[in-house]
Amino acid sequence: MEPFDFPRNDPGPHTLRVDGGDLNEDLRWLMSRFAGYVGVMSFLGSRFTANEEALAPALDEIARRGLFIVDDGGSSQSLIAATAAKLSLPAARVDIVLDQRGTPQSLEAALAALEAQARRTGSAIGFANAQGPTIARLARFAREAESRGLAIAPISALVEKSAGAATAAEAPR
């Protein structure tokens, strides 16, 4: 999705853009690259997700396919939640980007914050990039979770699937 500093920061071919490109063709191309998914997640996209005129047709296509959307949490101007609600599209938002700073210390701090939020609110959604050290630490965190009274759940368990809802649901205990 198009960020505010596009084209300096270019997500690549078939970027969903506010102006230009064929939104339907690009979205369908992007969604045809994989099979078996139950939802999609925004990526970059600060400009795209802040423009309801551009965003609504994309979310409508996602809803039409029976999927859900996860907002990457990268932009305070994102209209994903509000637009998804209008379309009865199940949606959730990342609470904490775990590897945003890329250091082991910041990853530990982010995991502690994620756990604290989950304890405080009943659930928390974390996101991390697929990098070796991050994956290794997340695997250890997941193995230790139950002993600390936590349940690790897939995002599909946290997205409310009931008709008309577009919010994250409480995590199963």
The CATH class of the 1-93 domain is alpha beta
Q: Is the pTM of this model over 0.95?
A: no
pLDDT value of residue 160: 67
Phi-psi region of 128 (alpha: psi -120 to 50; beta: other; left: phi over 0): beta
Count Cβ atoms below 10 Å from residue 12 Cβ, excluding itself.
6
Rounded distance, CA 68 to CA 160, Å?
9
pLDDT value of residue 32: 92
Q: Which segments in the chain show pLDDT lower than 70? A: 160-173
Rounded distance, CA 68 to CA 114, Å?
22
pLDDT value of residue 161: 47
Residues of the chain with CATH 3.20.20.370: 1-93
**127 touches 72 (CB < 8 A):** yes
* Cα–Cα nearest to 14, from 29, 3, 4: 29
Burial class (CB in 10 A: 0-12, 13-18, 19+), 132: exposed
pLDDT value of residue 172: 36
